[in-house]
Amino acid sequence: MAKRGHLFIISAPSGAGKSSILSAILKKDPGLRYSISYTTRPPRGKERDGVDYYFISDSAFRKKIDAGELAEWAEVHGHLYGTSARYLEDSLDRGHDILFDIDVEGAKKLYAKYPEAILVFIAPPSMEELKRRLVERGTDSAEAIERRLKNAKAEMAEAKWYHHVIVNDDLAQAVSELKAIIEQVRSQG
């Protein structure tokens, strides 16, 4: 039987630069697999179904909850997001390391089920910088930005129970910090 893979759970307030860090690390490290979540949120910008998310309806999502197909799920910014239990278990059984991009509530639930998971929190340099990035991204309405900023404050308070916190001041630096964490975990078996 293959050695079980590792779970790397990454959380960050939106606008902390998590997507850029994750796409960079996934390019650099072919041994890492990305867990594509289900969401009821509509696609944003250039997002593609089956690549960034599986975009599904509210009722399809509820069916997955009832059928026990989600390892965890949470409501974030007014939409539902969840992790495929089968993808997670299959990947781990095959010895693949998986990267999860999930919110703090989902991270807590997954950690309770998989206490061997490694939790990494990505923080923006400051709340002012976070607001600037969200406005610059231009993909959210003013109302959505306000909601994301309010949530960000609550999310930042949760960083304390993560194993690692990376402050994303500089993208290359943040990516190499995450890479070092992953390498360290792998070297321990």
Give the binding-site size for ligand 5GP (rule: CB under 6 A): 17
Q: Which residues contact 73 (CB under 8 A, 6 or more apart)?
A: 38, 61, 65, 80, 81, 82, 83, 106
State the Cα–Cα distance between residues 16 and 23, nearest whole angstrom.
14
Does residue 174 sit in helix, strand or coil? helix
Interface with ligand 5GP (CB under 6 A), residue from 106, 130, 134, 156:
106
DSSP 8-state secondary structure symbol assigned to residue 158: G
Of the pair 22, 182, the CB lying nearest ligand 5GP is at: 22
Of the pair 171, 186, the CB lying nearest ligand 5GP is at: 171
Interface with ligand 5GP (CB under 6 A), residue from 5, 17, 82, 124:
82
Helices (H) and strands (E) in the chain, counts: 7, 9
In terms of Cα–Cα distance, which of 139, 118, 96 is closest to 9?
118
Of the pair 37, 168, the CB lying nearest ligand 5GP is at: 37
Two tokens, residue 45: 């910008």
Our finding on whether 76 is near ligand 5GP (CB under 6 A) is yes
Our finding on whether 101 is near ligand 5GP (CB under 6 A) is yes
Our finding on whether 123 is near ligand 5GP (CB under 6 A) is no
* Beta pairing partners, 81: 39, 74
Our finding on whether 16 is near ligand 5GP (CB under 6 A) is no
- Min. distance of Cβ 16 from ligand 5GP in angstroms? 9
| Alpha carbon 151 to chain centroid, angstroms | 15
10 Å CB burial of residue 126 (0-12, 13-18, 19+) is exposed
* Residue sitting closest to ligand 5GP (CB): 106
Of the pair 83, 91, the CB lying nearest ligand 5GP is at: 83
Our finding on whether 5 is near ligand 5GP (CB under 6 A) is no
Of the pair 14, 91, the CB lying nearest ligand 5GP is at: 14
Q: Which residues bind to ligand 5GP, rule: CB under 6 A? A: 11, 14, 37, 41, 72-74, 76-77, 81-83, 101-103, 105-106
